[in-house]
Protein backbone atom coordinates (compact mmCIF):
# COMPACT_ATOMS: atom_id res chain seq x y z
CA UNK A 1 0.00 0.00 0.00
CA UNK A 2 1.28 3.44 -0.90
CA UNK A 3 0.21 6.86 0.31
CA UNK A 4 0.58 8.28 -3.18
CA UNK A 5 -2.07 9.47 -5.59
CA UNK A 6 -2.62 7.58 -8.82
CA UNK A 7 -0.44 9.93 -10.86
CA UNK A 8 2.51 9.51 -8.51
CA UNK A 9 2.14 5.73 -8.66
CA UNK A 10 2.18 5.82 -12.44
CA UNK A 11 5.15 8.23 -12.59
CA UNK A 12 7.10 5.77 -10.48
CA UNK A 13 6.54 3.08 -13.10
CA UNK A 14 4.17 1.00 -11.01
CA UNK A 15 1.02 -0.65 -12.32
CA UNK A 16 -2.22 0.75 -10.90
CA UNK A 17 -5.51 -1.11 -11.00
CA UNK A 18 -8.93 0.31 -10.16
CA UNK A 19 -11.03 -2.22 -8.24
CA UNK A 20 -14.66 -1.17 -8.51
CA UNK A 21 -17.47 -2.30 -6.28
CA UNK A 22 -20.49 -3.21 -8.40
CA UNK A 23 -23.87 -4.04 -6.89
CA UNK A 24 -24.97 -5.69 -10.13
CA UNK A 25 -22.47 -8.49 -9.62
CA UNK A 26 -24.35 -9.32 -6.41
CA UNK A 27 -27.63 -9.18 -8.32
CA UNK A 28 -26.33 -11.66 -10.90
CA UNK A 29 -24.87 -13.87 -8.16
CA UNK A 30 -28.14 -13.98 -6.23
CA UNK A 31 -30.25 -14.54 -9.35
CA UNK A 32 -28.02 -17.42 -10.45
CA UNK A 33 -28.26 -18.87 -6.94
CA UNK A 34 -32.05 -18.69 -6.99
CA UNK A 35 -32.18 -20.32 -10.43
CA UNK A 36 -29.89 -23.11 -9.25
CA UNK A 37 -32.00 -23.63 -6.13
CA UNK A 38 -35.05 -24.15 -8.35
CA UNK A 39 -33.30 -27.01 -10.11
CA UNK A 40 -32.21 -25.13 -13.24
CA UNK A 41 -28.53 -24.33 -12.69
CA UNK A 42 -26.58 -22.36 -15.29
CA UNK A 43 -23.05 -23.51 -16.07
CA UNK A 44 -21.23 -20.19 -16.11
CA UNK A 45 -18.27 -21.67 -17.99
CA UNK A 46 -20.57 -22.48 -20.91
CA UNK A 47 -22.89 -19.52 -20.52
CA UNK A 48 -22.93 -17.18 -23.54
CA UNK A 49 -25.81 -14.73 -23.04
CA UNK A 50 -24.48 -12.54 -25.87
CA UNK A 51 -25.61 -15.20 -28.36
CA UNK A 52 -29.17 -15.52 -27.07
CA UNK A 53 -31.72 -14.06 -29.57
CA UNK A 54 -34.36 -13.30 -26.91
CA UNK A 55 -31.84 -11.37 -24.84
CA UNK A 56 -30.63 -9.46 -27.89
CA UNK A 57 -34.23 -8.51 -28.71
CA UNK A 58 -34.85 -7.27 -25.15
CA UNK A 59 -31.72 -5.12 -25.27
CA UNK A 60 -32.56 -3.73 -28.70
CA UNK A 61 -36.00 -2.70 -27.45
CA UNK A 62 -34.65 -1.12 -24.27
CA UNK A 63 -36.46 -3.59 -21.99
CA UNK A 64 -33.55 -3.46 -19.59
CA UNK A 65 -34.82 -1.84 -16.39
CA UNK A 66 -32.80 -3.42 -13.59
CA UNK A 67 -29.92 -4.43 -15.88
CA UNK A 68 -26.55 -2.97 -15.02
CA UNK A 69 -25.46 0.09 -17.02
CA UNK A 70 -28.17 -0.26 -19.65
CA UNK A 71 -31.17 0.62 -17.46
CA UNK A 72 -30.93 4.41 -17.26
CA UNK A 73 -33.42 6.42 -19.36
CA UNK A 74 -30.63 7.70 -21.59
CA UNK A 75 -29.26 4.22 -22.25
CA UNK A 76 -32.66 2.63 -22.82
CA UNK A 77 -33.54 5.39 -25.28
CA UNK A 78 -30.24 4.93 -27.09
CA UNK A 79 -30.92 1.21 -27.43
CA UNK A 80 -34.43 1.86 -28.75
CA UNK A 81 -33.19 4.48 -31.21
CA UNK A 82 -30.36 2.25 -32.44
CA UNK A 83 -32.49 -0.90 -32.56
CA UNK A 84 -29.38 -3.05 -32.09
CA UNK A 85 -29.03 -5.74 -29.45
CA UNK A 86 -25.78 -7.44 -30.45
CA UNK A 87 -22.71 -7.40 -28.24
CA UNK A 88 -20.56 -5.25 -30.54
CA UNK A 89 -23.07 -2.42 -30.67
CA UNK A 90 -23.71 -2.59 -26.94
CA UNK A 91 -19.97 -2.17 -26.33
CA UNK A 92 -20.06 0.92 -28.55
CA UNK A 93 -23.18 2.30 -26.86
CA UNK A 94 -21.74 1.79 -23.37
CA UNK A 95 -18.93 4.19 -24.24
CA UNK A 96 -20.60 6.74 -26.50
CA UNK A 97 -23.29 7.47 -23.88
CA UNK A 98 -20.89 10.01 -22.31
CA UNK A 99 -22.71 13.18 -21.17
CA UNK A 100 -20.60 15.46 -23.37
CA UNK A 101 -21.14 13.38 -26.51
CA UNK A 102 -24.80 14.17 -27.22
CA UNK A 103 -24.16 15.76 -30.61
CA UNK A 104 -22.04 12.82 -31.72
CA UNK A 105 -24.66 10.35 -30.52
CA UNK A 106 -27.14 11.94 -32.91
CA UNK A 107 -24.60 11.79 -35.71
CA UNK A 108 -23.87 8.15 -34.88
CA UNK A 109 -27.58 7.27 -35.01
CA UNK A 110 -27.91 8.94 -38.39
CA UNK A 111 -24.98 6.99 -39.81
CA UNK A 112 -26.21 3.77 -38.21
CA UNK A 113 -29.56 4.17 -39.96
CA UNK A 114 -28.11 4.83 -43.39
CA UNK A 115 -26.94 8.44 -43.50
CA UNK A 116 -24.04 8.63 -46.01
CA UNK A 117 -20.71 9.46 -44.44
CA UNK A 118 -17.04 9.59 -45.27
CA UNK A 119 -14.03 9.36 -42.95
CA UNK A 120 -13.20 12.73 -41.45
CA UNK A 121 -9.79 12.41 -43.09
CA UNK A 122 -8.11 9.57 -45.00
CA UNK A 123 -5.69 9.16 -42.09
CA UNK A 124 -8.62 8.09 -39.87
CA UNK A 125 -10.22 5.61 -42.27
CA UNK A 126 -8.82 2.53 -40.53
CA UNK A 127 -8.63 4.06 -37.05
CA UNK A 128 -12.40 4.65 -36.79
CA UNK A 129 -13.71 2.03 -39.19
CA UNK A 130 -15.55 0.06 -36.46
CA UNK A 131 -17.30 3.10 -35.01
CA UNK A 132 -18.84 4.75 -38.08
CA UNK A 133 -16.05 7.32 -38.28
CA UNK A 134 -16.72 8.66 -34.75
CA UNK A 135 -14.35 8.59 -31.78
CA UNK A 136 -16.06 6.38 -29.22
CA UNK A 137 -13.35 4.91 -26.98
CA UNK A 138 -10.51 6.57 -25.06
CA UNK A 139 -7.93 4.90 -27.26
CA UNK A 140 -9.59 6.46 -30.33
CA UNK A 141 -8.30 9.83 -29.13
CA UNK A 142 -4.74 8.51 -28.88
CA UNK A 143 -4.85 6.65 -32.18
CA UNK A 144 -6.34 9.65 -33.99
CA UNK A 145 -3.68 11.97 -32.62
CA UNK A 146 -0.95 9.60 -33.83
CA UNK A 147 -2.47 9.03 -37.28
CA UNK A 148 -3.70 12.55 -37.97
CA UNK A 149 -1.14 14.81 -36.30
CA UNK A 150 1.96 12.67 -35.96
CA UNK A 151 1.92 12.47 -32.14
CA UNK A 152 4.19 9.92 -30.54
CA UNK A 153 2.30 7.23 -28.65
CA UNK A 154 3.48 8.74 -25.37
CA UNK A 155 2.25 12.21 -26.36
CA UNK A 156 -1.07 10.81 -27.54
CA UNK A 157 -1.61 8.96 -24.27
CA UNK A 158 -0.92 12.15 -22.32
CA UNK A 159 -3.59 13.92 -24.40
CA UNK A 160 -6.06 11.14 -23.62
CA UNK A 161 -5.38 11.44 -19.91
CA UNK A 162 -5.57 15.20 -19.68
CA UNK A 163 -9.11 15.21 -21.11
CA UNK A 164 -10.49 13.82 -17.85
CA UNK A 165 -8.52 16.06 -15.49
CA UNK A 166 -10.05 18.99 -13.64
CA UNK A 167 -7.21 21.30 -14.65
CA UNK A 168 -7.30 20.18 -18.26
CA UNK A 169 -7.79 23.74 -19.56
CA UNK A 170 -4.28 24.59 -18.40
CA UNK A 171 -2.80 21.85 -20.53
CA UNK A 172 -5.08 21.59 -23.55
CA UNK A 173 -3.91 24.81 -25.20
CA UNK A 174 -0.46 23.31 -25.68
CA UNK A 175 -1.89 20.02 -26.96
CA UNK A 176 -4.25 21.83 -29.34
CA UNK A 177 -1.40 23.84 -30.83
CA UNK A 178 0.67 20.70 -31.25
CA UNK A 179 -2.30 18.82 -32.80
CA UNK A 180 -3.14 21.61 -35.30
CA UNK A 181 0.46 22.03 -36.40
CA UNK A 182 0.99 18.29 -36.87
CA UNK A 183 -2.25 17.78 -38.76
CA UNK A 184 -1.49 20.70 -41.10
CA UNK A 185 1.90 19.20 -41.91
CA UNK A 186 0.06 15.99 -42.86
CA UNK A 187 -2.19 17.88 -45.25
CA UNK A 188 -5.37 17.71 -43.17
CA UNK A 189 -7.92 20.44 -43.93
CA UNK A 190 -8.69 23.12 -41.35
CA UNK A 191 -12.32 21.96 -41.18
CA UNK A 192 -11.31 18.36 -40.50
CA UNK A 193 -8.83 19.48 -37.83
CA UNK A 194 -11.50 21.52 -36.03
CA UNK A 195 -14.06 18.71 -36.23
CA UNK A 196 -11.57 16.14 -34.95
CA UNK A 197 -10.56 18.36 -32.06
CA UNK A 198 -14.20 18.97 -31.10
CA UNK A 199 -14.79 15.24 -31.21
CA UNK A 200 -11.90 14.75 -28.82
CA UNK A 201 -13.39 17.36 -26.49
CA UNK A 202 -16.54 15.24 -26.23
CA UNK A 203 -14.47 12.99 -23.96
CA UNK A 204 -14.75 15.64 -21.25
CA UNK A 205 -15.26 14.31 -17.72
CA UNK A 206 -15.16 10.56 -18.11
CA UNK A 207 -15.00 7.98 -20.85
CA UNK A 208 -14.25 4.31 -21.35
CA UNK A 209 -11.54 2.41 -23.12
CA UNK A 210 -12.90 -0.42 -25.24
CA UNK A 211 -11.96 -3.28 -22.82
CA UNK A 212 -13.75 -1.42 -20.01
CA UNK A 213 -16.82 -0.92 -22.15
CA UNK A 214 -16.73 -4.58 -23.24
CA UNK A 215 -16.59 -5.80 -19.65
CA UNK A 216 -19.61 -3.62 -18.79
CA UNK A 217 -21.45 -4.95 -21.83
CA UNK A 218 -20.71 -8.51 -20.70
CA UNK A 219 -22.25 -7.87 -17.28
CA UNK A 220 -25.17 -6.09 -18.94
CA UNK A 221 -25.84 -9.12 -21.13
CA UNK A 222 -25.75 -11.47 -18.14
CA UNK A 223 -28.31 -9.32 -16.34
CA UNK A 224 -30.53 -8.98 -19.41
CA UNK A 225 -30.42 -12.75 -20.00
CA UNK A 226 -31.54 -13.47 -16.45
CA UNK A 227 -34.30 -10.88 -16.66
CA UNK A 228 -35.50 -12.35 -19.97
CA UNK A 229 -35.50 -16.01 -18.97
CA UNK A 230 -35.85 -15.95 -15.16
CA UNK A 231 -37.76 -12.73 -14.48
CA UNK A 232 -38.96 -13.48 -10.94
CA UNK A 233 -35.57 -14.63 -9.73
CA UNK A 234 -33.87 -11.66 -11.36
CA UNK A 235 -36.24 -8.95 -10.12
CA UNK A 236 -36.10 -10.43 -6.63
CA UNK A 237 -32.29 -10.20 -6.76
CA UNK A 238 -32.49 -6.57 -7.92
CA UNK A 239 -34.84 -5.66 -5.07
CA UNK A 240 -32.95 -7.76 -2.54
CA UNK A 241 -29.81 -5.77 -3.33
CA UNK A 242 -31.59 -2.42 -2.97
CA UNK A 243 -32.22 -1.85 -6.66
CA UNK A 244 -30.11 0.31 -8.94
CA UNK A 245 -30.99 3.46 -10.86
CA UNK A 246 -34.67 3.47 -9.81
CA UNK A 247 -36.73 3.28 -6.63
CA UNK A 248 -38.18 0.09 -5.17
CA UNK A 249 -41.66 1.20 -6.25
CA UNK A 250 -40.50 1.59 -9.86
CA UNK A 251 -39.02 -1.92 -9.90
CA UNK A 252 -42.23 -3.35 -8.42
CA UNK A 253 -44.21 -1.64 -11.18
CA UNK A 254 -41.84 -3.09 -13.76
CA UNK A 255 -42.32 -6.56 -12.26
CA UNK A 256 -46.09 -6.28 -12.61
CA UNK A 257 -45.75 -5.06 -16.21
CA UNK A 258 -43.66 -8.17 -16.88
CA UNK A 259 -46.59 -10.29 -15.71
CA UNK A 260 -45.14 -11.25 -12.34
CA UNK A 261 -47.41 -11.73 -9.33
CA UNK A 262 -46.25 -9.66 -6.36
CA UNK A 263 -47.20 -11.14 -2.99
CA UNK A 264 -47.05 -8.98 0.11
CA UNK A 265 -45.05 -9.53 3.31
CA UNK A 266 -46.00 -12.58 5.36
CA UNK A 267 -44.60 -13.42 8.79
CA UNK A 268 -44.38 -17.12 7.87
CA UNK A 269 -43.60 -17.01 4.15
CA UNK A 270 -41.37 -13.97 3.62
CA UNK A 271 -37.61 -14.19 3.83
CA UNK A 272 -35.72 -11.22 5.20
CA UNK A 273 -35.11 -10.07 1.62
CA UNK A 274 -37.15 -10.38 -1.57
CA UNK A 275 -37.53 -13.81 -3.14
CA UNK A 276 -38.77 -14.91 -6.54
CA UNK A 277 -39.63 -18.13 -8.32
CA UNK A 278 -41.87 -19.34 -11.15
CA UNK A 279 -43.39 -15.97 -11.95
CA UNK A 280 -44.04 -14.96 -8.34
CA UNK A 281 -42.27 -12.28 -6.28
CA UNK A 282 -42.55 -12.27 -2.50
CA UNK A 283 -41.86 -9.05 -0.60
CA UNK A 284 -39.14 -9.45 2.02
CA UNK A 285 -39.75 -8.38 5.60
CA UNK A 286 -36.92 -5.85 5.31
CA UNK A 287 -39.17 -3.87 2.96
CA UNK A 288 -41.44 -3.05 5.92
CA UNK A 289 -40.59 0.41 7.19
CA UNK A 290 -38.94 0.72 10.62
CA UNK A 291 -38.30 -2.99 11.24
CA UNK A 292 -35.05 -3.32 13.17
CA UNK A 293 -32.28 -5.74 12.24
CA UNK A 294 -32.73 -7.42 15.63
CA UNK A 295 -36.42 -7.96 14.86
CA UNK A 296 -35.69 -9.48 11.45
CA UNK A 297 -33.15 -11.85 13.01
CA UNK A 298 -35.56 -12.80 15.79
CA UNK A 299 -38.30 -13.62 13.29
CA UNK A 300 -35.97 -15.91 11.32
CA UNK A 301 -34.78 -17.71 14.44
CA UNK A 302 -38.25 -18.16 15.94
CA UNK A 303 -39.81 -19.33 12.69
CA UNK A 304 -37.06 -21.92 12.20
CA UNK A 305 -38.32 -23.65 15.36
CA UNK A 306 -41.99 -23.56 14.35
CA UNK A 307 -44.24 -21.30 12.25
CA UNK A 308 -46.35 -18.62 13.85
CA UNK A 309 -49.96 -19.77 14.26
CA UNK A 310 -51.57 -16.51 15.34
CA UNK A 311 -50.76 -12.83 15.78
CA UNK A 312 -50.62 -13.36 19.53
CA UNK A 313 -48.11 -16.15 19.04
CA UNK A 314 -45.98 -13.70 17.09
CA UNK A 315 -46.42 -10.91 19.66
CA UNK A 316 -45.31 -13.23 22.47
CA UNK A 317 -42.25 -14.64 20.72
CA UNK A 318 -40.94 -11.44 19.11
CA UNK A 319 -40.00 -8.32 21.07
CA UNK A 320 -41.77 -5.70 18.93
CA UNK A 321 -41.95 -1.96 19.25
CA UNK A 322 -45.37 -0.40 18.82
CA UNK A 323 -44.36 1.04 15.44
CA UNK A 324 -43.10 -2.32 14.18
CA UNK A 325 -46.30 -4.11 15.16
CA UNK A 326 -48.51 -1.47 13.55
CA UNK A 327 -46.50 -1.54 10.34
CA UNK A 328 -46.65 -5.34 10.12
CA UNK A 329 -50.40 -5.18 10.56
CA UNK A 330 -50.92 -2.39 8.04
CA UNK A 331 -48.90 -4.09 5.29
CA UNK A 332 -50.83 -7.35 5.71
CA UNK A 333 -48.05 -9.50 7.17
CA UNK A 334 -50.53 -11.26 9.50
CA UNK A 335 -53.39 -11.64 7.02
CA UNK A 336 -52.63 -15.31 6.33
CA UNK A 337 -52.84 -16.37 10.00
CA UNK A 338 -56.05 -14.64 11.05
CA UNK A 339 -59.55 -15.99 10.65
CA UNK A 340 -61.86 -13.58 8.87
CA UNK A 341 -60.69 -10.66 10.99
CA UNK A 342 -59.76 -7.34 9.50
CA UNK A 343 -56.70 -5.24 10.24
CA UNK A 344 -58.59 -2.90 12.55
CA UNK A 345 -59.24 -5.89 14.82
CA UNK A 346 -55.56 -6.81 14.63
CA UNK A 347 -54.65 -3.36 15.94
CA UNK A 348 -57.07 -3.94 18.81
CA UNK A 349 -55.50 -7.33 19.56
CA UNK A 350 -52.04 -5.76 19.56
CA UNK A 351 -53.11 -3.06 22.03
CA UNK A 352 -54.67 -5.68 24.29
CA UNK A 353 -51.45 -7.68 24.17
CA UNK A 354 -49.49 -4.58 25.24
CA UNK A 355 -51.83 -3.95 28.16
CA UNK A 356 -51.65 -7.54 29.35
CA UNK A 357 -47.84 -7.55 29.00
CA UNK A 358 -47.64 -4.32 30.98
CA UNK A 359 -49.90 -5.71 33.71
CA UNK A 360 -47.51 -8.67 34.05
CA UNK A 361 -44.60 -6.29 34.47
CA UNK A 362 -43.27 -7.15 31.04
CA UNK A 363 -42.82 -10.82 31.92
CA UNK A 364 -44.02 -12.22 28.61
CA UNK A 365 -45.16 -15.83 28.36
CA UNK A 366 -46.93 -17.88 25.74
CA UNK A 367 -50.67 -18.05 26.24
CA UNK A 368 -51.94 -21.60 26.30
CA UNK A 369 -54.72 -20.67 23.94
CA UNK A 370 -55.98 -17.65 22.12
CA UNK A 371 -59.22 -17.87 24.08
CA UNK A 372 -57.38 -16.30 26.99
CA UNK A 373 -57.61 -13.07 25.02
CA UNK A 374 -61.38 -13.16 24.60
CA UNK A 375 -63.39 -12.17 21.57
CA UNK A 376 -62.57 -8.97 19.70
CA UNK A 377 -65.26 -6.35 19.16
CA UNK A 378 -66.73 -6.06 15.64
CA UNK A 379 -64.54 -3.19 14.48
CA UNK A 380 -64.99 -1.90 10.90
CA UNK A 381 -61.80 -1.76 8.88
CA UNK A 382 -62.72 1.31 6.89
CA UNK A 383 -62.86 1.67 3.14
CA UNK A 384 -60.41 0.05 0.73
CA UNK A 385 -58.70 3.35 -0.04
CA UNK A 386 -57.77 3.78 3.61
CA UNK A 387 -56.33 0.25 3.72
CA UNK A 388 -54.28 0.86 0.59
CA UNK A 389 -53.00 4.19 1.86
CA UNK A 390 -51.74 2.49 5.02
CA UNK A 391 -50.08 -0.25 2.97
CA UNK A 392 -48.42 2.31 0.70
CA UNK A 393 -47.21 4.34 3.68
CA UNK A 394 -45.50 1.27 5.19
CA UNK A 395 -44.05 -0.28 2.02
CA UNK A 396 -43.72 2.65 -0.39
CA UNK A 397 -45.64 0.70 -3.06
CA UNK A 398 -48.76 -1.40 -3.56
CA UNK A 399 -48.30 -5.10 -4.19
CA UNK A 400 -51.32 -5.90 -6.35
CA UNK A 401 -51.79 -2.69 -8.35
CA UNK A 402 -50.17 0.49 -9.53
CA UNK A 403 -51.08 3.46 -7.30
CA UNK A 404 -52.20 5.34 -10.40
CA UNK A 405 -55.07 2.85 -10.75
CA UNK A 406 -56.64 4.38 -7.63
CA UNK A 407 -57.24 7.59 -9.57
CA UNK A 408 -58.74 6.10 -12.75
CA UNK A 409 -62.29 7.12 -11.78
CA UNK A 410 -61.23 10.76 -11.48
CA UNK A 411 -63.11 12.83 -14.10
CA UNK A 412 -59.85 14.62 -14.98
CA UNK A 413 -58.55 11.36 -16.52
CA UNK A 414 -61.41 10.82 -18.96
CA UNK A 415 -59.50 12.23 -21.94
CA UNK A 416 -56.14 10.67 -21.15
CA UNK A 417 -54.62 7.68 -22.92
CA UNK A 418 -52.31 4.93 -21.68
CA UNK A 419 -48.59 5.19 -22.27
CA UNK A 420 -48.55 2.28 -24.71
CA UNK A 421 -50.96 4.23 -26.95
CA UNK A 422 -48.68 7.29 -27.27
CA UNK A 423 -47.11 5.69 -30.34
CA UNK A 424 -50.49 6.03 -32.06
CA UNK A 425 -50.50 9.81 -31.48
CA UNK A 426 -47.14 10.79 -32.98
CA UNK A 427 -47.18 14.47 -33.90
CA UNK A 428 -50.64 15.00 -32.41
CA UNK A 429 -51.72 16.42 -29.04
CA UNK A 430 -52.04 13.77 -26.35
CA UNK A 431 -52.61 13.62 -22.61
CA UNK A 432 -51.52 10.81 -20.33
CA UNK A 433 -51.93 10.21 -16.61
CA UNK A 434 -48.55 9.32 -15.14
CA UNK A 435 -46.54 8.79 -11.98
CA UNK A 436 -43.05 10.36 -11.75
CA UNK A 437 -40.13 7.94 -11.62
CA UNK A 438 -36.91 9.96 -12.00
CA UNK A 439 -35.55 13.07 -13.68
CA UNK A 440 -32.43 14.85 -14.80
CA UNK A 441 -32.08 18.62 -14.91
CA UNK A 442 -29.68 20.21 -17.40
CA UNK A 443 -28.95 23.68 -18.73
CA UNK A 444 -30.02 24.56 -22.25
CA UNK A 445 -27.75 26.53 -24.56
CA UNK A 446 -29.37 29.75 -23.36
CA UNK A 447 -28.38 28.90 -19.78
CA UNK A 448 -31.93 28.19 -18.60
CA UNK A 449 -32.85 24.93 -16.92
CA UNK A 450 -34.77 22.16 -18.67
CA UNK A 451 -35.61 18.63 -17.64
CA UNK A 452 -35.70 15.05 -18.89
CA UNK A 453 -38.31 13.22 -16.82
CA UNK A 454 -39.30 9.57 -16.75
CA UNK A 455 -42.88 8.75 -15.77
CA UNK A 456 -44.85 5.51 -15.72
CA UNK A 457 -48.35 4.15 -15.73
CA UNK A 458 -49.71 0.61 -15.58
CA UNK A 459 -48.62 -0.14 -19.16
CA UNK A 460 -45.14 1.31 -19.50
CA UNK A 461 -42.53 4.00 -19.03
CA UNK A 462 -42.90 7.47 -20.51
CA UNK A 463 -39.81 9.47 -21.47
CA UNK A 464 -40.41 13.20 -21.61
CA UNK A 465 -38.70 16.52 -22.28
CA UNK A 466 -39.63 19.75 -20.50
CA UNK A 467 -38.06 22.64 -22.37
CA UNK A 468 -37.06 25.76 -20.39
CA UNK A 469 -40.36 27.64 -20.67
CA UNK A 470 -42.40 24.60 -19.65
CA UNK A 471 -39.90 23.62 -16.96
CA UNK A 472 -40.04 27.05 -15.36
CA UNK A 473 -43.83 27.14 -15.47
CA UNK A 474 -44.56 23.56 -14.33
CA UNK A 475 -41.68 22.29 -12.19
CA UNK A 476 -43.47 23.15 -8.92
CA UNK A 477 -46.21 20.69 -9.85
CA UNK A 478 -43.63 17.90 -9.94
CA UNK A 479 -42.02 18.75 -6.61
CA UNK A 480 -44.15 16.25 -4.69
CA UNK A 481 -44.36 12.56 -5.55
CA UNK A 482 -47.81 11.89 -6.94
CA UNK A 483 -49.91 11.47 -10.09
CA UNK A 484 -50.04 14.11 -12.81
CA UNK A 485 -51.57 14.61 -16.21
CA UNK A 486 -49.00 15.35 -18.91
CA UNK A 487 -50.17 17.12 -22.05
CA UNK A 488 -47.92 17.44 -25.06
CA UNK A 489 -46.86 16.12 -28.44
CA UNK A 490 -45.35 12.61 -28.78
CA UNK A 491 -42.37 12.50 -31.13
CA UNK A 492 -40.80 9.51 -32.84
CA UNK A 493 -37.03 9.74 -32.40
CA UNK A 494 -35.39 6.97 -34.42
CA UNK A 495 -38.15 4.58 -33.28
CA UNK A 496 -38.27 5.71 -29.64
CA UNK A 497 -41.27 7.71 -28.42
CA UNK A 498 -40.54 10.87 -26.43
CA UNK A 499 -43.29 13.17 -25.16
CA UNK A 500 -42.59 16.89 -25.50
CA UNK A 501 -44.54 18.17 -22.53
CA UNK A 502 -46.45 21.43 -22.82
CA UNK A 503 -48.47 21.30 -19.61
CA UNK A 504 -48.45 19.47 -16.27
CA UNK A 505 -51.47 19.23 -13.97
CA UNK A 506 -51.69 17.60 -10.58
CA UNK A 507 -54.29 14.89 -10.00
CA UNK A 508 -56.11 15.31 -6.71
CA UNK A 509 -57.63 12.15 -5.25
pLDDT at 425: 98
DSSP single-letter state for residue 442: E
Please write the tens of the pLDDT for every residue from 130-144.
999 999 999 999 999
Largest CA distance in the chain: 98
CB 484 within 8 A of CB 436: yes
The pLDDT of residue 364? 47
Taking the CA of residue 436 as centre, how many other CA atoms within 13 Å lie in the half-sphere pointing to its CB? 20
Tell me what pLDDT residue 100 has.
82
CA dihedral 444, 447, 449, 454 (to 10 degrees): 20
CB 327 within 8 A of CB 300: no
Q: What is the pLDDT of residues 111-133, one digit of tens each?
A: 999 999 999 999 999 999 999 99
Query: pLDDT category, 449, cuts 50, 70, 90?
Result: very high
| Full set of structural domains in the chain with CATH | 83-212 (no CATH), 230-395 (1.10.150), 407-506 (2.40.50.140)
- What's 273-296 look like in SS3? CCEEECCEEECCHHHCCCCCHHHH
Write the CB contacts of 455 (distance below 8 Å, at least 6 apart in sequence). 419, 432, 434, 435, 436, 437, 461, 462, 464, 484, 486
**C-alpha triplet 496, 502, 504: angle, nearest 5°:** 105
Q: What is the 3-state secondary structure (H, E, C) of 183-204?
A: HHHCCCCHHHHHHHHHHHHCCC
Helix pair 138-149, 168-185: axis angle to 10 deg: 40
pLDDT, tens digit, 9 for 90 and up, residues 370-428: 445 567 788 888 889 999 999 999 999 999 999 999 999 999 999 999 999 999 999 99
Please report, rounded to a whole number, the percentage of residues in the chain having pLDDT higher than 70: 96
Could you tell me if 35 and 276 are in contact, meaning their C-beta atoms sit under 8 angstroms apart?
no
**pLDDT tens across 37-86, in order?**
999 999 999 999 999 999 999 999 999 999 999 999 999 999 999 999 99
- How many Cβ atoms sit within 10 Å of the Cβ of residue 46? 6
Q: Express each pLDDT in 258-290 by its tens digit.
A: 999 999 999 999 999 999 999 999 999 999 999
- pLDDT for 212-221, tens place per residue? 999 999 999 9
Amino acid sequence: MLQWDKDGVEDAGLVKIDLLGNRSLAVIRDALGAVAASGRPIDELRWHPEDDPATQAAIAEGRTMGCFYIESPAMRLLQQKAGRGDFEHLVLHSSIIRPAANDWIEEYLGRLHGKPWQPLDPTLKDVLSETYGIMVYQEDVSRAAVAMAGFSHEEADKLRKVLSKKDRALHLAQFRRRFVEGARRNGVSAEAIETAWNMMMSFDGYSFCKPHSASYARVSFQAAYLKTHFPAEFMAAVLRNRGGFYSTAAYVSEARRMGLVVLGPDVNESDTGWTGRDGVLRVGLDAVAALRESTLSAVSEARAKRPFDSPEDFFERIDLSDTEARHLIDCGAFDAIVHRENRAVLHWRWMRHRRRAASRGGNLRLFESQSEYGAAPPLPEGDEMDRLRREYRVLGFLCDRHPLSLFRDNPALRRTIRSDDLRLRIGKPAAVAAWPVCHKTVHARNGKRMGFFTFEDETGLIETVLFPDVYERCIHRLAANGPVILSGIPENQWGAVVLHVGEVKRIHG
